[in-house]
Structure 1
Amino acid sequence: MALLDRNFNLSQRMVQELGRTIICGEFTDNGLPTEAELCEKFGVSRSAVREAVKMLSAKGLVSSKPRQGIRVLPEDQWNIFDPDLLRWMLESKPTLSVLKEFLQVRIAIEPEAAALAARYADPGKVDQIEKALERMRKAPDNSPEDLEADIAFHVSILYASNNRFYIRLRDFISTALRVSISHTSPIKGNHEGIVEDHAKVLNAIKNRNAERAKHSMLLLIDEALNFIEDSIAAGK
């Protein structure tokens, strides 16, 4: 019987376990075990299995139809902006190609968010960005505190944009950062330089210079993207 996380109810525990295995590609034949087999595997009732399948279906991972059983859907149908899927992708040690795609999305979103923050952020939201930067400045290089402060900096800018759609991308951006920073920061190896690059974004926002804020954020992410592309080219 699988060991399930006690922080979730039975169906939610199954979703966590099955979701991770699907993301990791364990079910390569596109089929999941039958309801009866899942009941046996996880020691749960059929109703718990069916509820779990509904949750996985809502995430675009599986479909369940009469005579077809429970099928794993193609990856292009997965709701990859779902926070659970993002976390499972992180836990499955994503490839450099996935990191590159993360950064490509970030580069399409965050520079404009920074420009909007320069135009529309109220003083309280600018203060949140500045507090995150100060946490980065004080944190030991490549420490958990440094990582969390860096994430808080970028998420604070999404909130400061005052754009509800950008704000809703906070989980995606947080996960993308959590993965990419852990790969690129050790390569760059210059904590002070990283902090100062972030300070350029903050200063542009504080000075209400939208174009400079956009450009500074673009350079920040583009540098990380270059590191990833160099690693891919080197076959790492």
Structure 2
Amino acid sequence: MATEITDTEINPVGAVAGRNLTHGMLDTLGRAIVTGRYESRPFPTEAEIAKTHGVSRSVTREAVKMLTAKGLVSARPRQGTVVQPASAWNLFDTDVLRWTLERKFSVELLRHFNQLRVAIEPEAAALAARYGDAADIQAIRSGLEQMEAGESGLTDPLEADIAFHVAIMRASKNPFYAQFQSVVSTALRTSIRFTNRIKGRSANIADHAAVADAIIARDPAAAKVAMARIIGDVLTMIGEE
């Protein structure tokens, strides 16, 4: 029988330890749900989870609450906690998106993601050209410079590419677009790796420079077209794969 481990036994700073344990339990259960471990058997009770994993009931309870908020499970009268169908999962939640992408590589999911990007990022680039301030422009330039350095192996080209796109989302000054940056960052890690394997190289610097140049020139129309071209090329590659 597993010994129940309390928050304070793990770490004298109980609150910090509790958060770490809760997020660890969340990750374990979330991955198990997304990989289909509970497709043919019922989701365990909080008591069963606590016993199996050797954590406190409070940690288990909080993790299950977080799973519920993410749309992965729901509590039903007389049935207990039930795993929800994939259609109910919140794909805008970065944990759910990450677990889904890691579960089994899906070109279809990447296609759907980039279809969403092409509906959002070109307009974000246009807004960045209108409203981006000096700090935003510097962040966009920095992202592009990091991408260029990545070509020579001086920086991580993947992280640089993500930083460039995130800087543009922030420069839009639209809080809804700015919050989309977490989804973009999470999914781009898989999308960029996949398209780079197809191309045999990292991102096209000239295409990204065209977006940056248009934003710096305060040309919303050109920024929108240049960003749409980048994502359109990705959709073409995914469609051809």
TM-score of the pair, normalised by structure 2: 0.87
1 CA distance for matches of 2:116 and 2:153?
24
1 CA distance for matches of 2:40 and 2:90?
20
| Residue in structure 1 matching 2:222, options 208, 212, 227 | 212
Matches within 5 A, 1:146-225: 146-191=157-202, 194-225=204-235
1:53 aligns with 2:53: no
1 CA distance for matches of 2:116 and 2:129?
21
1:67 alignment counterpart: 78
Question: For 1:71, what is the secondary structure of its paired residue?
Answer: strand
1 CA distance for matches of 2:155 and 2:51?
39
Deviation at 1:30, TM superposition (A): 6.9
Q: What percentage of residue pairs aligned between the two structures are identical?
A: 48
2 CA distance for matches of 1:119 and 1:11?
42
Deviation at 1:121, TM superposition (A): 0.8
2 CA distance for matches of 1:45 and 1:149?
41
Q: Deviations over 1:154-202 (max 9, x none)?
A: 00000111111000001111112111100102322354x7011100100
Matches within 5 A, 1:11-22: 11-22=22-33
2:207 counterpart letter in structure 1? D
| Residue in structure 1 matching 2:92, options 81, 86, 89 | 81
Change (3 A) 1:16 1:141: farther
2 CA distance for matches of 1:9 and 1:217?
39
Please report the RMSD computed on the Cα atoms of aligned residues, expressed in angstroms. Answer: 2.1
Equivalent pair of 1:30/1:72 in contact (CA under 8 Å):
no
Change (3 A) 1:218 1:11: same
Q: Specify every segment of 5 or more residues in structure 1 that has no aligned partner in the other structure, as ranges.
A: 232-236
1:134 aligns with 2:145: yes
1:119 alignment counterpart: 130
2 CA distance for matches of 1:63 and 1:142?
47
Q: Deviations over 1:60-87 (max 9, x none)?
A: 1101234202111122221211121122
2 CA distance for matches of 1:153 and 1:144?
13
Change (3 A) 1:199 1:178: same
Most deviating of 27-36 and 68-77: 27-36
Deviation at 1:104, TM superposition (A): 0.7
1:196 counterpart letter in structure 2? A
Question: For 2:156, what is the secondary structure of its paired residue?
Answer: helix
TM-score of the pair, normalised by structure 1: 0.88
1:105 alignment counterpart: 116
2 CA distance for matches of 1:89 and 1:151?
19
1:86 counterpart letter in structure 2? L
2:109 counterpart letter in structure 1? V
Most deviating of 60-69 and 209-218: 60-69
Matches within 5 A, 1:37-52: 37-52=48-63
Change (3 A) 1:84 1:141: farther
2:58 counterpart letter in structure 1? S
Equivalent pair of 2:35/2:103 in contact (CA under 8 Å):
yes
Query: Structure 1: which 4+ aligned runs deviate by more than 6 Å?
Result: 141-144
1:36 aligns with 2:60: no
Q: Specify every segment of 5 or more residues in structure 2 that has no aligned partner in the other structure, as ranges.
A: 3-9, 11-16
What is the aligned residue count?
A: 226
